[in-house]
Structure 1
Amino acid sequence: MLTRLLSGDTPRSLPLTLILLAILVSLALAPFLFPGTRSVDTAARICVFIVLVASYDLMLGYAGIVSFAHTMFFGMGAYGVALASIHMGRGFDALIVGTLAGGIAAAALALVIGLFSLRVRAIFFAMITLAVASAVAVLVSQLSGLTGGEDGLNYKIPRALTSAQKYMDEKLFGVRVNGKLLNYYLVFACSTLLFLLLLRIVNSPFGRVLQSIRENDFRAEAIGYRVVYYRTAATCLSAVAAALAGSLYAIWLRYVGPDTTLSFEIMVDILLMVVIGGMGTMYGAVIGATLFIVAQNYLQTLMGAAAEGLEGVPVLPLLLNPDRWLLWLGVLFVLSVYFFPTGVVGRLRGRG
């Protein structure tokens, strides 16, 4: 049963299995295990970015397509929900319409980019996607009447998904059962289903063809596969999954802006998560997103505590100053690439 649920792609390593189970349990019970606004928000971001990173790995790790436009599709899903909620009101119908509109728009744009650009060499396609993504980001910033410009958009979601809606007077294991809790489990459930769907896609005959194209596109073309069509289909599927992740992020945040969905910094973060977890492995998205977002949210706090504990020791408190957390995050990334050249998943599977 479990093997079928995972599409036959089991972790194949005891340490990897234990790590994935720990992450699953932690995310499933996050509001109860880690109570507090910051920790639950971190867990929700991990859920969303697991889907976002997995969708990007479908292109990069399985199809061998290098794209810098993934945050553009992510932003389409987010802005779709935001605009629908503003113009249709705070109902579930607005969330559904916004999600569908964002997904369709992302698929259509990915189709156009794929058909016109995937015939060129990889580096030129990457540059084309970077140019398109930059143009869209500038357009969103300038159309302030529609998108809110640099200030972004604030909007209301259904009351049933906000902390104002209480479902029980008493706390459940010390946690208030309200709309915010329901909102978290909506994000968790949808992210889990999307991840399992992506896992099914990469382990289907379609996914096998993508891997053969990645290894040798000339040979795949020679035996009858239309390489451009398969790559375009992979790009569209990846774009739709990224847009759906953006929709979930918008429902959770209740705010959308260029910095939260369209910035190139997010694109770099996605690349780092893919490399850390392991390219060409859906489980790499789980581990990469979890490690990166936890470090991004708590490394500065840990460094501050370490600096206080080492006060009086020469040099170390200065090096561990919380303002230098980005430096140490970069050091951790370099070390992870050095010691795990195939990613955490590749290394653990190699040992398993």
Structure 2
Amino acid sequence: MMRLLSGDTPRSPALTVLLVIIVLALAFAPFLFPGPLAYRTYSSICLFTMLVLSYDILLGYTRIISFAHAMFYGIGAYAMAISLRDLGGGWGAIGVGLAAGLATALAVAFVIALFSLRVRAVFFALVTLAVAVGFMTLVSKLYHFTGGEDGIAFQVPFVLGPGYTLTDEPVPGFNLIGFLTSGDFAGAWFDVRTSGMVLIYYVLFVAAVCIFFALLRMMNSPFGRVCKAIRENEFRAEALGYRTVAFRTINVCISAMIAAFAGALAALSLRYINPESTLSFDLMVNVLLITVIGGMGTLYGAIVGTALFVLAETYLQSLLAVAHEASASLPLVHAMLDPERWYLWLGLLFVLSVYFFPRGIVGQLRLRSESRRRRVGADINPGPATDPKETRG
């Protein structure tokens, strides 16, 4: 396990338990959480995990603030959508779309990095913001090619569609949420229709797991250690002989290609894309928030932060509706718990998470675990005793 994690373990019992719960829930999600809303939720967690992982190696490991990351996600999605629309819904079209998306993202990222990484911090962020806005405008204007604001609908291979079934007989599933809320063990069982949607979900899940382990290995390699050195003190890294611009450029290109790959898988999963879902500034803000809340420069934070964010965004409004009805006798509380104000409560949750977890959830859990180990070590080895008289003397 240490080798698989490249020596970078969670280093916190609480974090380990949280990660195990999230990964196991995602691994068996189609057989634990029925319904289209649940499917969209756990699929979004896998997609956003890949996207946030790719952004964390920028912001968390080299302190590169980019507002164009959602653009690379959109490039991958549009390349896949256009290929499937124009070449037909076959496997060859998927290969062409994936290759085109990765190549385009690599080329655009290299050009942006080549001309922009020599400027510092906020100036690079502004350059990437201008490029992202320009690209989104271009996509909206090229209606005959990109579908404009209406987006693109397309066909995928039959194996990946809802009409295909992996088995003739349904597979039994256990509704975990239904059991926890009702306590009815017998009534919690349901039949899972193992359609192509289940298959594409496991493609997303396996892709997210593979990308996580690959990036964990990369950031604990000599390349990753140089990136960390650039993050801590770029001038010192340059003085040691490292070409920091080259390392930052490589990092930007790798990050862009992973984001484009996630976008291509998103297109396959959704079978419809538009600028709002793949290129909007809201998407970029969400990625930035998840990275900060989960814990920058940890990679584990992408998993934890994404799971909490997507669950809050999906189910907070429903929870507020229940609380809204229950508080009918309290006018002020009743008004504050209106489901229409769910964005207010979502923002409040983010503020509280940043306040109580200033290093992100993963960073704070690791810090507390390290402090606890130090206290235990101090209790076991208190050090040599001293004579009070000698101390006064």
Please classify the TM superposition score into its range, dividing by the shorter chain length.
Answer: over 0.9
Match of 1:288 among 305, 325, 337: 305
SS at match of 1:3: coil
- Displacement of 1:169 in angstroms is 2.2
Q: Which residue of 2 aligns with 1:337?
A: 354
Identity %: 54
- Displacement of 1:196 in angstroms is 1.4
Distance in 1 of aligned mates of 2:109 and 2:166: 41
Q: Which residue of 2 aligns with 1:317?
A: 334
The letter of the residue matching 2:121 is A
The letter of the residue matching 2:248 is R
Q: Which residue of 2 aligns with 1:183?
A: 200
Distance in 2 of aligned mates of 1:10 and 1:96: 35
Distance in 1 of aligned mates of 2:290 and 2:92: 33
Gaps of 5+ in 2: 173-190, 370-393
Q: Which residue of 1 aligns with 2:112?
A: 113
SS at match of 1:157: coil
Distance in 1 of aligned mates of 2:146 and 2:5: 39
Distance in 2 of aligned mates of 1:308 and 1:344: 32
- Displacement of 1:225 in angstroms is 0.2
SS at match of 2:192: coil
Deviations 1:1-25 (A, max 9, x none): x221212111011000000000000
TM-score by length of 2: 0.88
Distance in 1 of aligned mates of 2:327 and 2:42: 30
Distance in 1 of aligned mates of 2:202 and 2:318: 27
The answer to whether the aligner puts 1:4 opposite 2:3 as a matched pair is yes
The CA RMSD measured in Å over matched residues stands at 0.8
Distance in 2 of aligned mates of 1:157 and 1:293: 26
- Displacement of 1:132 in angstroms is 0.3
The letter of the residue matching 2:90 is G
TM-score by length of 1: 0.98
Q: Which residue of 1 aligns with 2:257?
A: 240
Q: How many residues align?
A: 351
- Displacement of 1:52 in angstroms is 0.3
Q: Which residue of 2 aligns with 1:142?
A: 141
Query: Where does 1:1-352 land on structure 2 (aligned, <5 Å)?
Result: 2-173=1-172, 174-352=191-369
Deviations 1:31-69 (A, max 9, x none): 111011110111011001001001001000001111100
Gaps of 5+ in 1: none
Deviations 1:268-312 (A, max 9, x none): 000110111011110001111111111001000000011111211
Distance in 2 of aligned mates of 1:279 and 1:240: 20
Deviations 1:146-180 (A, max 9, x none): 00000100001111011101222221012011111
The letter of the residue matching 1:293 is V
